[in-house]
Structure 1
Amino acid sequence: MGLVRMLAGDRPRTSEQGRETWHSFSFGAHYDPANIAYAGLMAHHDDHLEPGAGYPDHPHAGVEIVTWVLDGVLVHRDSDGGAADLGAGSLQVQSAGSGIRHSEVADAASGPTRFVQAWVRPDEDDGAPAREVVDPGPVLDGGGLVPLASGAGTGSAGLVGLGAAGATLWVARLVPGRTITLPERRHQHLFVSRGSVSVAGQTLAEGDALRATDEPGHRATLPEHVAGAELMVWTFG
């Protein structure tokens, strides 16, 4: 049906002590009936935490929580006994299932922490909670688009399984001179987590997003004046 560009500065923001969160969709006190969700994405947050700040223990149920750490260290603790210190470049998928409690706090000794977190609607919402963490490392060094979490399972379909069959999170760390072709899926949510990227003739800056529905795959490239960029792409269908 077309392309919709969402500018970083137009995102609603929640400010708490030691925490700034920019939301790509309606969330909490920020309600826009025209921007409640997109395909299987229920929420998409860009979180910036000061050392020691974050989210104390709180509950979740019936959601796949996908966390991609960009800077610093995010300390995760949950009611299933799960514990992880997620450094930059770590990906965690938390299947809340029938219910779980967890906390997410920036490590006090590691400086400010930034992470992007997406909430995805699962195929089933009453299963047992589960969690998986991966650090893709050199998999992203080639500059191509890599599936990091997928409802199709692990292996070639994605490094981490996801409890939503039609959903995949792709990440690309673009390198100068290389153009990538984005997947041909019915729904795509593109988010520039770092730098600046050219997609479908439009330049997207850090924090900008592009939503494509019933559009063929587009090409993405790194503008010549930008030293590096990272692109996150959620696809559905």
Structure 2
Amino acid sequence: MVEFRRGRERGYADHGWLKSFHSFSFAGYHDPAHMGFGALRVINEDRIEPGTGFGTHGHRDMEILSYVLDGELAHRDSMGNGSVIRPGDVQRMSAGTGVMHSEFNHSATGQTHFLQIWIIPGQQGIAPGYEQKHFEPAARRGRLALVASPDGAAGSVTVHQDARLHAGLFDAAERATLEVAPGRQVYVHLARGRLSVNGYPLEAGDAAKFTGETRFEFADGQGAEVLVFDLA
């Protein structure tokens, strides 16, 4: 079975310095029909204006992934981490028992465009943690690279949940296949471009929720950047 979540149907917030599309209920956007999908709780597509960002704030008991599409995102947290997240980077912050952090676009001219992803952890009250890894375009070109997993397989960042995240770039004749175990749920989010999944066309911002399927074909890409969540 497949259910679509079209990009134009998402929640939207314009705070001036921040413009954000919400795939699931978040902050002032509440939609009982879209509270999450399995352990996947949040996908926010954020655009941060130059010289602005999220001031220091706290989180608990959440696996937070940041995936930058354009620009740069500066990160600082109460664990002592300070980094810059760029396109191709995947950052994982396990909030656990509690962490404070900030995220800023320090550019004087360019917007930062990124995806903020929250995954509910399999266990609460873990120690906070941080990890960041880079995945070259060649590793994602015409294929689905594993970028997050419960065991850090294939050099992915480690999330504390039975969830695997793949990222891919597709153009023209590039094709890829993904097979998952029976009983899994799969959430496909197209960050940009156009792409078909099992013959279903998706455009930027669209998502497809699959249950009861184990094989997925990705084709007909036009400047496509896709995230695929394999969930328990």
* Counterpart residue type for residue 229 of structure 1: A
Whole-Å separation in 1 of the counterparts to 2:173 and 2:71: 29
- Secondary structure in 2 matching 1:122: coil
- Please say if residues 72 and 110 of structure 1, whose CA atoms lie closer than 8 Å, have aligned partners that are also in contact: no
Match of 2:35 in 1: 36
Q: CA deviation at 1:218?
A: 2.0
Match of 1:132 in 2: 131
Q: Report the structure, 1 or 2, having the larger strand content.
A: 2
Whole-Å separation in 2 of the counterparts to 1:174 and 1:210: 17
Match of 1:170 in 2: 166
Residue 60 of structure 2 corresponds to residue 57 of structure 1? no
Segment of structure 1 superposing worse, 176-185 or 73-82: 176-185
Whole-Å separation in 2 of the counterparts to 1:120 and 1:221: 27
Segment of structure 1 superposing worse, 134-143 or 97-106: 134-143
Q: CA deviation at 1:18?
A: 1.1
- Please say if residues 222 and 229 of structure 1, whose CA atoms lie closer than 8 Å, have aligned partners that are also in contact: no
- Please say if residues 73 and 110 of structure 1, whose CA atoms lie closer than 8 Å, have aligned partners that are also in contact: no
Match of 2:176 in 1: 180
Match of 1:206 in 2: 204
Match of 2:156 in 1: 159
* Counterpart residue type for residue 10 of structure 1: E
Task: Tell me the matched-pair count.
Answer: 230
- Please say if residues 140 and 167 of structure 2, whose CA atoms lie closer than 8 Å, have aligned partners that are also in contact: no
- Secondary structure in 1 matching 2:160: coil
* Counterpart residue type for residue 122 of structure 2: D
- Please say if residues 65 and 93 of structure 2, whose CA atoms lie closer than 8 Å, have aligned partners that are also in contact: yes
1:47-196 maps to which residues of 2 (within 5 A)? 47-109=46-108, 111-151=110-150, 153-156=151-154, 158-164=155-161, 166-185=162-181, 186-196=184-194
Whole-Å separation in 2 of the counterparts to 1:209 and 1:229: 13
- Secondary structure in 2 matching 1:36: coil
* Counterpart residue type for residue 156 of structure 2: L
TM-score, normalised relative to structure 1: 0.92
- Please say if residues 40 and 119 of structure 2, whose CA atoms lie closer than 8 Å, have aligned partners that are also in contact: yes
Cα distance change, pair 84–40 in 1 and its aligned pair in 2 (3 A): same
Match of 1:11 in 2: 10
Q: CA deviation at 1:110?
A: 6.0
Percent identical? 33
Q: CA deviation at 1:217?
A: 1.6
Match of 1:231 in 2: 226
Q: CA deviation at 1:138?
A: 4.6
Q: CA deviation at 1:154?
A: 1.9
